[in-house]
């Protein structure tokens, strides 16, 4: 189809008339495009993504439009490029081109606004941006900081880090050595290692939040000028929702794009929240492409996360995923001794060893038990003895709704089927042993936060695919085999 404006006699007109004519033509073409676009998308999407666009000029078959930000451009290219192409082709023919002019705003510390040429995200399309116009200065160059009370003029970004969660207090053991070492490497060279992003995952109370803070604290000590920010995924989500309500979404995005080291705790909280995932995806891309460091924590490995978009999961896997497991006996003893030393409390070795031996699930419970023991001794003016420790630990374990351990599940299942744990973990393919092993894997997935790989490793050194197969087998047998269904019911009662 030939261009509708190809024969417009513009070149012989005075410049101001020529510019005015281009602007009028651009408005006319863009208004026709909007009519087509409005008929093909939801009203809210139209209001959000197309009403803010301003037509600038029309040169033969190339329409120039001004968009509010780079993020805005990326969103259009990713979600609406086909619709834009169809609308523009309808008006200007098959050779139609779309040129984006990005409104660049002043940001913290920038004395002058800047421009950049944005490559097209769809190079097979005829709609390729080809130029950059002069920037348009923002009326309000100061971006809004979600952590600052409205009305208070302050651009300082507090890191939100807890100084008590340092590497000094994060004792190394076999269960955390990989994650701790990776954290130190990131601290020495944020954004400059292959551990970007660094995803630390593991069950409740194993030190994910502590390690995330420790990395942030270490970076701030070594690189005081870097902007480090710790935030929970829940708070990040709430900030995003507020920004949508207040129509400050662009400010929200720009704020996070200026962070040098972004630490997001409990990233699994983003599950099912498509809008928040979408905005985080673009923030993540911006930070990663600009050599900034991203640190994430989760209670699950990426492979086990539900309702997280694949494009996000793929980016989580770009760097290193390091698991924190339950601490072994030696590490538990070291943790207790370190805690007692810092609190200035002396305790006999056999009491420390008793507590470490009987509380295995996580560090939070371990420290909670020792605090309870000290409190009982202080309030009741009793000496800390092994007998008192036994009483406190017994009550603490009984009254604490604790996460069932994989070791405990294996013991319960083995006792139920009258076999020892070694037999359950063995390589034998005898049907009743295989079923017992599959049930142990099934309940480990149900009652613990451990990853499939961790479950398989602890139940006979199997891989995560074996655990996944076991869980599917148990689900199928529960529907078709009455006896097997009874096994599940009996074991559920014992484990709940």
In 3D space, the residue among 351, 328, 320 whose CA is nearest the CA of residue 206 turns out to be: 328
* Measured distance CA(236)–CA(281) in Å, rounded: 13
Q: 424: pLDDT confidence band, cut at 50, 70 and 90?
A: very high
> Is the per-residue pLDDT at 439 higher than 90?
yes
At residue 144, the pLDDT reads 47
* Measured distance CA(131)–CA(96) in Å, rounded: 15
Q: What are phi and psi of 198, to 5 degrees?
A: -100, 115
Q: Which CATH number fits domain 406-495: 1.10.1750.10, 3.40.50.300, 1.10.3090.10, 3.40.630.30?
A: 1.10.1750.10
Between 212 and 111, the higher pLDDT residue = 212
Q: Which CATH number fits domain 167-324: 3.40.50.720, 3.30.360.10, 3.40.50.300, 3.20.20.70?
A: 3.40.50.300
Helices 349-358 and 363-379, axial angle in degrees (round to 10): 130
- CATH 1.10.8.60 maps onto the chain at 329-399
How close are the terminal C-alpha atoms of the chain, in Å?
Answer: 71
- CATH 3.30.300.180 maps onto the chain at 1-135
251-296: per-residue pLDDT in tens? 888 888 889 999 999 888 888 888 888 889 989 988 988 889 999 9
289-318: per-residue pLDDT in tens? 888 999 999 887 887 777 788 888 888 888
- CATH 1.10.1750.10 maps onto the chain at 406-495
> Is the per-residue pLDDT at 164 higher than 80?
yes
Task: State the CATH architecture for 329-399.
Answer: Orthogonal Bundle (1.10)
At residue 2, the pLDDT reads 35
- CATH 3.40.50.300 maps onto the chain at 167-324
DSSP category for residue 404: P
Give the pTM.
Answer: 0.50
Tell me whether residue 184 is exposed, middle or buried, using C-beta atoms within 10 angstroms of its C-beta: 0 to 12, 13 to 18, 19 or more.
middle
At residue 105, the pLDDT reads 40
- Distance between alpha carbon 112 and the CA centroid of its chain, in Å? 33
Beta bridge partners of 263: 230, 295
- Distance between alpha carbon 442 and the CA centroid of its chain, in Å? 26
The tokens 């604790």 sit on which residue? 402
- Distance between alpha carbon 151 and the CA centroid of its chain, in Å? 30
Task: State the CATH architecture for 1-135.
Answer: 2-Layer Sandwich (3.30)
In 3D space, the residue among 242, 305, 255 whose CA is nearest the CA of residue 449 turns out to be: 305
């Amino acid at each position: 189809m030939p261009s509708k404006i190809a024969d417009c006699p513009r070149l012989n007109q005075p410049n101001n008339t020529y510019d005015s004519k281009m602007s009028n033509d651009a408005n006319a073409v863009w208004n026709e495009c909007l009519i087509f676009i409005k008929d093909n998308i939801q009203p809210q999407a139209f209001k959000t993504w197309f009403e803010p666009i301003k037509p600038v000029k029309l040169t033969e078959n190339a329409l120039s439009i001004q968009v509010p930000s780079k993020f805005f451009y990326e969103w259009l290219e990713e979600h609406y490029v086909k619709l834009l192409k169809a609308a523009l082709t309808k008006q200007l023919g098959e050779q139609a081109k779309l040129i984006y002019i990005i409104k660049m705003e002043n940001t913290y510390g920038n004395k002058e606004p800047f421009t950049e040429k944005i490559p097209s995200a769809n190079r097979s399309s005829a709609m390729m941006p080809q130029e950059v116009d002069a920037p348009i200065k923002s009326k309000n160059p100061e971006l809004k900081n979600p952590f600052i009370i409205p009305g208070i003029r302050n651009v300082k970004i507090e890191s939100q880090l807890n100084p008590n969660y340092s590497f000094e207090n994060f004792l190394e053991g076999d269960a955390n050595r990989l994650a701790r070492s990776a954290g130190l490497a990131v601290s020495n060279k944020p954004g400059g290692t292959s551990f970007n992003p660094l995803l630390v995952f593991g069950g409740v109370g194993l030190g994910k939040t502590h390690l995330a803070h420790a990395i942030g604290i270490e970076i701030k000590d070594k690189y005081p000028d870097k902007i480090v920010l710790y935030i929970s995924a829940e708070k990040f989500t709430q900030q995003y929702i507020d920004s949508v309500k207040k129509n400050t979404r662009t400010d929200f995005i720009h704020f996070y794009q200026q962070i040098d080291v972004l630490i997001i705790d409990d990233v699994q909280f983003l599950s099912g929240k498509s809008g928040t995932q979408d905005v985080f995806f673009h923030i993540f891309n911006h930070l990663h492409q600009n050599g900034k460091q991203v640190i994430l924590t989760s209670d699950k490995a990426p492979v086990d996360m539900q309702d997280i978009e694949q494009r996000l999961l793929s980016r989580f896997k770009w760097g290193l995923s390091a698991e924190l497991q339950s601490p072994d006996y030696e590490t538990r003893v070291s943790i207790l001794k370190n805690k007692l030393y810092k609190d200035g409390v002396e305790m006999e070795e056999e009491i420390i060893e008793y507590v470490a031996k009987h509380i295995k699930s996580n560090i939070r419970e371990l420290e909670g038990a020792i605090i309870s023991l000290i409190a009982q001794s202080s309030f009741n003016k009793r000496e800390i003895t092994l007998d008192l420790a036994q009483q406190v630990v017994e009550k603490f374990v009984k009254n604490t709704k604790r996460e069932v351990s994989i070791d405990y599940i294996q013991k319960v299942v083995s006792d139920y089927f009258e076999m020892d744990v070694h037999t359950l973990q063995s390589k034998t393919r005898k049907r009743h042993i295989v079923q017992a092993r599959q049930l142990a894997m099934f309940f480990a997935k149900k009652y613990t936060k451990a990853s499939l790989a961790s479950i398989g490793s602890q139940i006979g050194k199997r891989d995560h695919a074996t655990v996944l197969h076991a869980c599917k087998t148990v689900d199928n047998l529960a529907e078709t085999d009455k006896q097997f269904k009874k096994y599940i019911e009996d074991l559920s009662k014992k484990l709940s």
